[in-house]
Amino acid sequence: MCLYAGSLVPRALLAHCPPGARVIDTAPMSLDEIEAAFVEADARGEDVARLHSGDLSLYSAVAEQMRRLDRLGLSYTLTPGVPAFAAAAAALGRELTLPEVAQTVVLTRVPGRASRMPAAERLAAYGATGATLALHLAVQALPDIVAELVPLYGAACPVAVVQRASWPDERIVRGTLGNIVAQLAARPMERTALIMVGPALSGDDFSESRLYDPGYQRRFRGRDGS
């Protein structure tokens, strides 16, 4: 049996299910209904694939499903995926950590209907570090995000909004904190888009690292630089 999130998982991936497998879209299901499907499959002696988008470690709501499985005594394994921020960085052709520009990437979101943010986790606090920000599930709040970040990064700071990173219909809108709201108003995107903010996105004004400097001695390079 394959349980997949129909609103987030490309249907083309279902072609990898074995012939005769039961394929169930969990988008309209409650957690109790998903748990019941797990129990039913176990009673039938079936293997279950729970197909999520991105990587399970981020915003997947898989923790509550694992907790149910643990309580039921049902074993499972996790298979890592490609997180949205990594797919977006590849689509942009950018490294998110550049020497003397940014050495930290913050993966976060803004408050939404499904989940509130812990009181101490504030966008302004993250922005004050100058780190590269990857804002998930936040495109609907873009004007508020811009208003909060302009005083910290400046209006000229690069921004990119990537929708459906790595999908065939991937879309990218590039701009700055000063113009991204207007750009996105002209080319609207849905909630699955990822917002990337930070000077590292410029990709050209940074120092080279010492990693490949001939004078830098490291474990896999001989003392003579060879």
Query: Which helix (H) or strand (E) element contains residue 136?
Result: strand 132-136
**Residue 152 in tokens:** 């910290």
Contact 112, 193 (CB under 8 A): no
Q: Please give the Cα distance from 22 to 97 (Å, whole number).
A: 43
DSSP letter string, 146-177: HHHHHHHH-TTSEEEEEESTTSTT-EEEEEET
For the segment 130-157, the average pLDDT, to the nearest whole number, is 96
Please check the confidence at residue 221 and state whether its pLDDT lies above 70. Answer: no
**Domain boundaries along the sequence of the chain:** 2-72, 84-201
Please check the confidence at residue 203 and state whether its pLDDT lies above 90. Answer: no
Average pLDDT, the chain: 92
pLDDT above 90 coverage of the chain, percent: 76
- Give the model's pLDDT for residue 192: 82
Q: Please give the Cα distance from 203 to 88 (Å, whole number).
A: 14
Residue 122 confidence class, pLDDT cut points 50, 70, 90: very high
- Give the model's pLDDT for residue 176: 98
Residue 115 confidence class, pLDDT cut points 50, 70, 90: confident
- Give the model's pLDDT for residue 7: 85
CATH code linked to domain 84-201:
3.30.950.10
In the block, tokens 């459906």 appear at 164
- Give the model's pLDDT for residue 202: 92
Decide if domain 2-72 falls under CATH 3.40.1010.10.
yes
For the segment 86-91, the average pLDDT, to the nearest whole number, is 98
Residues 6+ apart with CB under 8 A from 195: 133, 134, 135, 138, 139, 142, 145, 159, 160, 161
Please name every residue paired with 3 in a beta bridge, in sequence order, or none if there are none: 24, 50
